[in-house]
Structure 1
Amino acid sequence: MNRIGFIGSSLLVVLALLSSMLFVVDQRQFGVVYALGQIKDVITEPGLNFKLPPPFQNVSYLDKRLLTLDSTDAEPVLTAEKQRVVIDWYVRWRITAPSDYIRNVGLDENAGANQLNRVVRNAFQEEVNKHTVKDLLSLKREVLMADVKREVLEAVQGAKPWGVDVVDVRITRVDYVEAITESVYRRMEAERKRVANELRSTGAAEGEKIRADADKQREVTIANAYRDAQKIKGEGDAEASRLYADSFGKDASFAQFYRSLDAYKSSFSKKSDVMVLDPSSDFFKAMRGSGSTANAVAAPAKK
């Protein structure tokens, strides 16, 4: 039993030793082997690898993929016309030389991101100082981003190379600082209100002009129509008077009888009308002589 236990213990020790000597490098990583704190080897290809057991050798990993660094601060930058603007940006970068990266930057990706953030921010401050706000919002933004990328590459590939490559630098937002933005919004609002009030006053004046012209045309049209109506009415009355005169001149008794009928019609226009007159009055003369008058009127009709 003691022998079996010894063999089992030995196998466990051997397995533990082998597991500490074997390591796998993923295709998305660099494997860096350290020997007593010094870089012994850099594994760039994926697969199973061997090393000495700790503490003689250790292994760490660095990401070889394309990394993204976003701006984290909102510190304003001065433009060429001394306007304070806030710029949001991002950088696409990767580790290309793990040995140089570890010696000059740090042991992990966060160390490189922190230092790269400082370099990119300084490059943006320097380049934005040379351009106006209009340039930042126009096609010249591409030129500015290219200049920033060039400066960043010069910094990371200088006397002590970082072992990284900056693939792209992009601006995502350009805006005034909050105080200036609020002032700009108020000025824009005041300008829009001024234009709106001007349009309203112009529209009101134009509306009054149109209404006045319409009233004038209405009055002119009514006056012309009344004039034409009075003219036609006068001509009709004149023609009627002429016809009456011609007709009444031929028979005086008929004319008197016709006028009496008009008078009766005007006097008794309603059933409730009441008149108090002397029966011997001339008003009923036509009624008293209705028989002889009717015969006189009807006599010509028998011919």
Structure 2
Amino acid sequence: MNKIIRMVVIVVVLGLIATAWDGFFVLPEGRQAVVTQFGAPVGQPIVKAGLHFKTPFIQDVQYFDKRLLIWDGDPNQIPTKDKTFVYVDVSARWRISNALTFLQAVNNESRAQGVLDDIIGSTVRDLINKHNLVEIIRSSDWNPEDHLGPDGKPAPKVIMGRDGMEKRIREIVSKATTKYGIDVVDVMFKRVNYIESVRKKVYERMISERKRIAAEKRSLGEGQKAEILGRVGRELKTITSAANETAEEIKGKADAKAVTIYAAAYNRDPEFYAFSKTLQSYEKTMGKNTNLVISSDSPFFKYMQDMKGTK
């Protein structure tokens, strides 16, 4: 009898342990949960981490992520409003905003990725179809006069721009995914690339634009060079003119002083002055092998004759 009671007690204890084990669950940080009973959700989503209770053996727990999740679409070839084909690769970040709605609408993350494929993909295609290429590859804070279009004229002015398009796509997608318990946080153009034929034209246009800018820079440089050379020439003429004027002034003063000295010497001894000047003339005129043919009556011959007579 005691043995039977002991067995019953053991069974009861094991049953209580199993019940307790199945009746409690721990919700970790970064996760949320929905309790289901026979596949149908019971109550509101559980978002607070910690120990929680459910009916043992009858109810189950479905766990979902609370963190940001990544959606990465496949690159697609899409035509723009101005009939330019581009490859567009888009990425997005999303989270499960309502676990109960999410469970009822899509059930799991794999199906949610498929829903996002359809919604984001179609939204991106529709918006690109309605806008010119420049809106996708440029932001709104640039000057169209500095860029050329395919016809060589200034490119069209950006109205929305790439950032604006990403924001608009996010707004449209976010409204469409609310019913799935999904909140799309942001949408980004990961890469926008031209198809081969367009890429060649773009490269040619870029080369043409750079050549135009280089020509403008060279022209500006030549203009500045001419201006600098002109200014240097004018300054050089001014300096030369001032130097010549100063030199003439100094020369004039020196000549006047020399005349004064010569006059004083002449007044003191005219004969010696004449003799000195004649000797200077001899020195300048005659070298080692100089032959002179002059008249004996010439004043230039006077002192030679006197020196000869003296000898």
**Post-superposition CA distance 1:225-256 (Å, at most 9, x none):** 59x96xx88xx69x96xx78xx59x95x5565
Deviations 1:1-41 (A, max 9, x none): x9999689745565345313332345741233342xx2253
Judging changes above 3 Å, is the alpha-carbon distance between structure 1 residues 214 and 289 closer, same or farther for their aligned structure 2 residues? farther
After TM superposition, the score normalised by the length of structure 2 is 0.58
The yes-or-no answer on 1:257 pairing with 2:261 is: no
Code of the residue aligned with 2:194 in structure 1: it is: V
Paired position in structure 2 for 1:149: 171
**Partner SS, residue 127 of structure 1:** helix
Rounded to whole Å, the distance in 2 between the matches of 1:287 and 1:7 is 169
Tell me the distance in 1 between the aligned counterparts of 2:4 and 2:305: 169
User: What code does the residue aligned with 2:217 have?
Assistant: L
1:114 corresponds to 2:114 = yes
Q: Which residue of 2 aligns with 1:32?
A: 35
Q: Which of residues 32, 49, 64 in structure 2 aligns to 1:62?
A: 64
Q: Secondary structure at the match of 2:76?
A: coil
Letter in 1 for 2:25: F
Distance 2:231 2:116 in 1: 74
CA RMSD in angstroms, aligned pairs only: 5.3
User: Offset of 1:59 from its aligned partner?
Assistant: 2.9
Equivalent in the alignment of 2:55: 51
> C-alpha displacement at 1:125, in angstroms?
1.0
Question: Could you give the per-residue CA deviations for residues 137-193 of structure 1, whole angstroms, max 9, x where no partner exists?
Answer: 336354774466336534x46xxx53x143544445574437456753553344223
- Residue identity in the other structure for 1:30: A
Deviations 1:195-215 (A, max 9, x none): 323432564476468658967
Change in 2 beyond 3 A, CA 1:199/1:146: closer
Contact 2:275–2:303 (Cα < 8 Å) also in 1: no
**CA–CA separation in structure 1 for the residues paired with 2:233 and 2:167:** 66
Count, aligned residues: 267
Separation of aligned partners in 2, 1:201 and 1:167: 52
Q: Name the amino acid aligned to 2:130.
A: K
Inter-partner Cα distance in structure 2 for 1:213 and 1:26: 79
User: Does the aligned pair in 2 maintain the 1:127–1:148 contact within 8 Å?
Assistant: no
Q: Percent identity?
A: 19
| Amino acid across the alignment from 1:184 | V
| Consecutive unaligned residues in structure 1, runs of 5 or more | 292-303
TM-score, normalisation: structure 1:
0.59
3-state SS of the aligned residue for 1:44?
strand
User: More displaced, 115-124 or 8-17?
Assistant: 8-17
Q: Matches of 1:169 and 1:206 in 2, distance apart?
A: 50
- Out of 190, 194, 198, the position equivalent to 1:177 is 194
CA contact (8 A) 1:127 1:144 kept: no
Contact between 2:173 and 2:184, CA under 8 Å: does it hold in 1? no
Contact 1:67 1:93 in 2 (8 A): yes
Q: 2:206 aligned with 1:195, yes or no?
A: no
Greater gyration radius? 1
- 8 Å CA contact 2:35–2:59 kept in 1: the answer is no
Q: Could you tell me which residue of structure 2 aligns to residue 299 of structure 1?
A: none
